[in-house]
Structure 1
Amino acid sequence: MKPHYPLPENIVDILESRRRKTNDSFTDLIRGGGYVPPNMDLLVDAISALSMGKNVLLKGPTGAGKTKFAESLSQLFNQPMFSVNCSVDLDAESLLGFKTLTYEGEKQVIEFIPGPVINSMKHGNFLYIDEVNMAKPETLPLINGVLDYRRTITNPFTNEIVTAEDGFNVIAAINEGYVGTVPLNEALKNRFVVIEVPYIEGDQLRNLIRSNTNLTDDSMIDLFVTLSSDLIHAVSQGKLSEDAASIRALLDACDLSALIPAKRAIQRSIADKLDEAREREFVQNLTETLF
């Protein structure tokens, strides 16, 4: 059985109090990480899973705030977080560490420099694996023992058996359907509790824009919230790719619009990132209608 990691002091009382009241922004609760959850259940479920020592897989569209969510969870647990950014080039050294030559006085010696997996295990910290389905299928099985009840790995570079200290846990994030991604194999997927991270909308998006951008004009903020809603709707209908509805890109547009015209800000931050001319034209037409 996996160990139980106690929640930070008073967090249970705070969460239960919030649950009994209303789904507000929770900004004061997670101010360190900067993620504003769309609903309370998302936050409660993630915290509950991590407090029981379970790995969490954040699944959702690009720009929905998965990395910010992971940072906020790290902040709530008062745990530093080591990160792995997956790609086709990810290998054992990127995960576990590497050997290098160094000197002890006059003597040249081989030293092992630990990577994010070994570091997070030995320090009892969080490990964040971003875009986990970008890694080659043969790479991540290296850490299967880290992700299950054993919480152990034999370091192939040193032959040391490393067992995770209390507090260690894993959060991963996945974007499905993108070029270069591969489906997670069942052995890997079964080692995670999956939490869907949707786009944030409405009042919570409005609060996020106010707290995370330089845009202060309420009427302009309302227009950007409407724009986001229309973009998300277009994505759901297959008219646009998910990149168009990225909350990260929307916040960039809000920031720029504090200094340059909103239409140009949207073009630079959202429309020009899209590959297809018809999608760029769709966003520009929508912008003309609103702004």
Structure 2
Amino acid sequence: MQMKEELPANIKEQLQKFQRNTTAYTELIREGGYMAPNKEIIIDAVTALLLGKNILLKGPTGAGKTKFAETLSYLFQQPMFSINSSVDIDAESLLGFKTLTYEDEKQVIEFISGPVINAMEHGTFLYIDEINMAKPETLPIINGVLDYRRSITNPFTNEIVTASKGFNVIAAINEGYVGTVPLNEALKNRFIVIEIPYIQGEQLKQLIVQNTKLEDEKLVDLFVKLSSDLIEAVAQGKIGEDAASIRALLDACDLSKHIPAKRAIQRAIADKLEEDREREFIMSLAETLFS
């Protein structure tokens, strides 16, 4: 892939080195790392992070967004602090909290750093999972962390914390799910968006072979076909995106090593769904493919 001339020389050098080093990435996939549906996803994410940009991984549930973040952490040999967003997340969950402790037998107040402060001070990656699950009024706390300032005034200590070199933010978003809210434009504009689609075909077959206990090639091919049918059904609005989760499909593959495939699909995929019509649709597909 040709590097754009606008990229600084050191960035181009690191990217070209990464592109040549396919052996390490192949080994990473074999050990359970993220398998990208195309090379551009990896290159674009690496480019953004090398330029000091925040990246937002956007895609359906079970497509591998968290696995991708872990893979980027591995590729950069960079530890990663994580935040699992929810409606209950608040400033203490992000930044830290004060607690009473003892020092030379005297009781003192100590501040315990949270994931944002830890990542900034140590110069590591910060991963915010399901960022749009957090309440809209909570996230503006870290706006200064996400823009050119890379700093924040800690409301618990009144200290200004500036991120050390190497600090980067990776966030993930599932749009349109229950409990999520749209990201406001001010927050979204602080990210480079990377779309993470489901992998299919030969890549999915390779993923199943390398990451599950299923060895029967005929069954593997049938599960690849099942995944393709589920993704198509999602596109047609027949079932929700969670029914086509690659994570759930891999669970079904593992189970089918020990129990009948149709029952594995029921346990790992169908029974997770709320609507009877969706469960029936999936089991009808399973009956057709695995009878």
TM-score category of the 2 structures, normalised to the smaller one: over 0.9
| Residue deviations 1:30-74 (CA, integer Å, cap 9, x gap) | 556610000000100000000000000000000000000000001
Matches within 5 A, 1:224-243: 224-243=223-242
Confirm or deny: 8 A CA contact 2:15 2:43 kept in the other structure. no
| Residue 168 of structure 1 pairs with residue 167 of structure 2 | yes
Counterpart in 2 of 1:139? 138
Counterpart in 2 of 1:21? none
Amino acid at match of 1:110: I
Unaligned runs of 5+ in 1: 19-23
Distance 1:8 1:267, change over 3 A: farther
Measured in 1, the distance between the counterparts of 2:122 and 2:12 equals 18
**What RMSD, in angstroms, separates the aligned Cα atoms of the two structures?**
2.0
Counterpart in 1 of 2:54? 55
Distance 1:253 1:32, change over 3 A: closer
Confirm or deny: 8 A CA contact 2:15 2:47 kept in the other structure. no
Counterpart in 2 of 1:15? 19
Confirm or deny: 8 A CA contact 2:91 2:141 kept in the other structure. yes
Measured in 2, the distance between the counterparts of 1:13 and 1:53 equals 18
Matches within 5 A, 1:95-114: 95-114=94-113
Measured in 1, the distance between the counterparts of 2:144 and 2:121 equals 15
Counterpart in 2 of 1:257? 256
Amino acid at match of 1:12: Q
Counterpart in 2 of 1:75? 74
Confirm or deny: 8 A CA contact 1:66 1:173 kept in the other structure. yes
Unaligned runs of 5+ in 2: 1-7
Distance 1:31 1:290, change over 3 A: closer
Measured in 2, the distance between the counterparts of 1:75 and 1:168 equals 15
For residue 106 of structure 1, report the CA deviation from its aligned partner: 1.2
Distance 1:125 1:33, change over 3 A: farther
TM-score, normalised to structure 1, is 0.93
Distance 1:37 1:123, change over 3 A: same
For residue 105 of structure 1, report the CA deviation from its aligned partner: 2.5
Measured in 1, the distance between the counterparts of 2:53 and 2:100 equals 37
Measured in 1, the distance between the counterparts of 2:88 and 2:275 equals 28
Distance 1:96 1:44, change over 3 A: same
For residue 16 of structure 1, report the CA deviation from its aligned partner: 5.3
Structure 1 segments of 4 or more deviating over 4 A? 6-11, 29-33
Q: Percent identity?
A: 74
Amino acid at match of 2:212: T
Task: Give the match's secondary structure for 1:28.
Answer: helix
| Residue deviations 1:197-241 (CA, integer Å, cap 9, x gap) | 000001111111111111111111111000000000000000000
